[in-house]
Chain A
């Protein structure tokens, strides 16, 4: 404990200079504390929770510890890069540890220190915020973490995912990276925030990297995305997910038990994201909305059912 604190304060002696340095420090911190540093999932998702390293791995009895950056897309939040902190594409930093360690709060606070939050000067608070994902059929209890009145993270003890009780319980930490970094780097507008070290030969701001893409995607999300195509893709993803899960467990070709939970879950993620796009296009009415969410949840539950039948899901033959 003592060693950890010393190391952390040594790290925080110097404040991070850029967005990427904050990410690198988080990676180093959680690697040091035993997490497998994973890479972003290679599909469009709305939040880091959708990464199978969280959703599926929080199920079953096997211990698990992972941390990763996840690019996240929320089409309805697009503001053409004008709003100081609203983006349709942003980054979340996600930590998931199962079973949740008894000192998870202390570990979390250590990570804030590691990225340059001076624990002697700020007011850190754990404010009730229960988490629920109707599309994933998941819920948990926890807090939003406030630093001087600003929400910097979500802290959740998963109780259920895909309709299954989580036992043991996974602890999940989600950092909204842009907002947290803006705070630490004292930037008033996300686009002005230094992406790499401002002393670099080629210094890049967040805006240099993302302003144009925010505009392009906002236009596409809101006005151009072909809703007929999207609706068809939704149906196809839904059908494919069901079809994958309806296959017999034993592969007839190689004769091994192979339940395709992950490929099925990919289709679930796809359906979920297409739903978000349709929502941004304003073609889903309030009543239909519930129905779509219910359809995605059905897929998520079926994938969870399949995963707990697999080795990684703790299934013992």
Chain B
């Protein structure tokens, strides 16, 4: 049972691509080998900045010989047919087998497909893997035509068993396989010859390369935590940064440095963002004060001075970076203190979208809309408008120009500095939320007003210029904006009639079409909460469906009702009534909606149904009036027995036309009453 070791050694692979590349290498190689009949016991893949590695244990030495059976012509068929079959199978006539079948005697051929040695299969599969590797971006280099993420330098491909190890011969565009690699670029650049995975991993470690990304992650994190802890500090966790940093080093060396006191007055988010984005540093904070006081950088090597030169260099770069950040911060604070409107007026030079005008024009629209929405969400109209006017001011600030990801947060700091109210400052940060399905939804009324206005303006604007999402394309994140509106309305239980808001926000937008876009997003949202799609449809079909909070209350009550026995039985009764009625209406070409009269009732069951409609009708109406859908449905459940009894005892299609018409009108009353609660015609079952 031989084991296989492969290493693809290249120039530096982008950190973000390494993990998937290792997975892809494993999948493509093992799939390819298994498809060729070469099964194995276990496999594992690894990545460093300069290498992708695969180890496969317990491979078959050869793929097994297989026999393929082919059915041929009938015995006694013309010679030509038989000869053709023999040519195709590569056999002679005496190798054919005659077999009796229900259709008579037929020739069968058994074709032997001999197994191939593992090395031959591996060479084929590896070459194909290299040539078709799914890098997100790949390139050519030198005069060759091979594509790889960065120039590929060598291919190590070794099979080993008890008898020893052998190179699997392979040549991809002039790169021939071998059994050598190199250690750390600076600490152990000499060539290494390896015979097995254990040997490879151990020799690499001696040559200052930690093969496993997981091991590098753990080592970095442990060391970082310990160094911080020893100083009474803690590292700010950042799993994404940790993975990235582990993909930038083969031999991680954690170094902790100081942040000059000049910068400790900067907001912690600014320090953190600047250090992370530019330098890939971790932030180290003082748990008592919450301030970020130090940084951690991860070098790729040891040095004779224990990293002192490296740390000093990094510290110097950080000083320059933070000097910039401090310069921006102080300039911004000056502007914020004197007049933030300098920023907002600068936004009249910034195009939002060439068909939707400038950012300043957009802010005017959002401010008007926020003012209009203020009473609905319980905010002061003046404060909501003020908040909307300032919410995007920070887009003109120097800090946000440098670090776009700080938008909103800087707005809050600057609005606070400018002496704006807490609500206005909070809205600057919170109006972007919610950004995703799990992001927190603002609850402060002013923030809610601005957040709704911002999103509704975006939606109506893009609807007006017909830039709607199609398929997987949603360049302006309109689905996210609609979901944001839905969550704002639901989680704050707002009674908001969307239709009128939408058509007033931009009269060029097709409000009906946009509302149905909201309904589509709402369906997805409710389905994730376990509400059946037909139940949602039954509620969307109702009047007032632009009041999303009411729509959802109705849907949740109906979902619960449909889970009860009364609910499912009433549905049956309703459907029966509706089916008969629809059929007769179609036949007669009329709609029976004149109202039934109890004086034409002939049976007790009929009269009982009249009575219960008369008594329950007003209760249902009252419950609906107060949006108590659960109560309306409970009352409706009382109709179940009289409806069932009616159908058991009464033939709707009486010979007496007056009686027939009256009964159809009675069914119509049932339909009307039930449909005032929800359109049960759309519910399945």
Contacts and interface: CB of A to CB of B under 8 A. Distances in A.
Interface of A: 84-85, 99-102, 105, 118-128, 130, 140-143, 147-150, 157, 159, 166-169, 171, 183, 285-287
Contacts of B354: 287
Interface string B320-331: 100100000000
Contacts of B137: 130, 141
B348 to A, nearest CB: 10
B350 interface: yes
Given A100-B142, A285-B349, A148 B320 contact: no
B153 to A, nearest CB: 7
Contacts of A150: 313, 316-317
B576 interface: no
B313 A159 contact: no
Given A102-B153, A128-B12, A167-B145, 19 more contacts: A85-B320, A99-B143, A119-B186, A120-B304, A123-B299, A123-B303, A126-B11, A127-B248, A141-B139, A142-B150, A143-B12, A148-B309, A148-B313, A148-B317, A157-B151, A167-B140, A169-B139, A171-B141, A287-B354
B257 to A, nearest CB: 10
A122 B142 contact: no
A157 B120 CA distance: 34
Nearest to B142: A99
Given A127-B248, A285-B349, A148 B310 contact: yes
B374 to A, nearest CB: 31
Most buried by B among A105, A121, A128, A147: A128
Interface of B: 11-12, 14-16, 49, 137, 139-145, 149-151, 153, 186, 248-249, 279, 297, 299-301, 303-305, 309-310, 312-314, 316-318, 320, 323, 349-351, 354
Contacts, number: 100
Nearest to A286: B351
A128 B142 contact: no
B172 to A, nearest CB: 15
A126 B12 contact: yes
Contacts of A147: 313
13 contacts: A99-B143, A121-B304, A121-B310, A122-B313, A130-B137, A141-B149, A141-B150, A142-B150, A149-B314, A157-B140, A285-B351, A286-B351, A287-B351
B350 to A, nearest CB: 6
Contacts of B310: 121-123, 148
A142 B142 CA distance: 14
A117 to B, nearest CB: 11
Nearest to B279: A149
Contacts of A118: 309
Contacts of A159: 139-140
A216 to B, nearest CB: 23
Contact residues of B: prevailing secondary structure:
loop
Contacts of A168: 142-144
B317 A128 contact: no
A157 B141 contact: yes
A27 B430 CA distance: 55
B309 A121 contact: yes
Considering the complex of A and B, which 10 residue pairs feature the smallest CB-CB distances, nearest first? A148-B313, A128-B14, A126-B12, A149-B314, A168-B143, A99-B143, A123-B299, A99-B142, A141-B139, A121-B309
Given A100-B141, A101-B142, A123-B299, A286 B305 contact: no
Nearest to A128: B14
Nearest to B11: A105
A84 B142 contact: no
A121 B305 contact: yes
Contacts of B312: 148
B317 A149 contact: yes
A91 B317 CA distance: 20
Nearest to B313: A148
Contacts of B351: 285-287
A159 B139 CA distance: 7
A176 to B, nearest CB: 13
Contacts of A84: 320, 323
Nearest to A143: B12
A277 B144 CA distance: 40
Given A105-B11, A285-B349, A124 B186 contact: yes
Nearest to B278: A149
A122 B248 contact: no
A169 B142 contact: yes
B14 A183 contact: no
Contacts of A126: 11-12, 49
Contacts of B144: 168
Contacts of B186: 119-120, 124
A234 B153 CA distance: 46
Given A147-B313, A149-B318, A167-B140, A120 B248 contact: no
A164 B351 CA distance: 32
Contact of B300 (A125, A128, A142): A125
Contacts of B304: 120-121
A166 B145 CA distance: 11
B142 A102 contact: yes
A140 B137 CA distance: 10
A220 B297 CA distance: 42
A118 B309 CA distance: 10
Nearest to B13: A128
Most buried by B among A130, A143, A148, A286: A148
Nearest to A147: B313
B141 A169 contact: yes
A183 B12 contact: no
A125 B50 CA distance: 11
Contacts of B140: 157, 159, 166-167, 169
A121 B279 CA distance: 19
A128 B299 CA distance: 16
A157 B10 CA distance: 14
B297 A121 contact: no
Contacts of A127: 12, 248
A120 B318 CA distance: 22
Nearest to A166: B140
A121 B300 CA distance: 11
Contact of A128 (B16, B143, B320): B16
Nearest to B186: A119
Nearest to A151: B317
Contacts of B143: 99, 167-169
Nearest to A63: B143
Contacts of A101: 142
B655 to A, nearest CB: 77
Nearest to B139: A141
A282 to B, nearest CB: 8
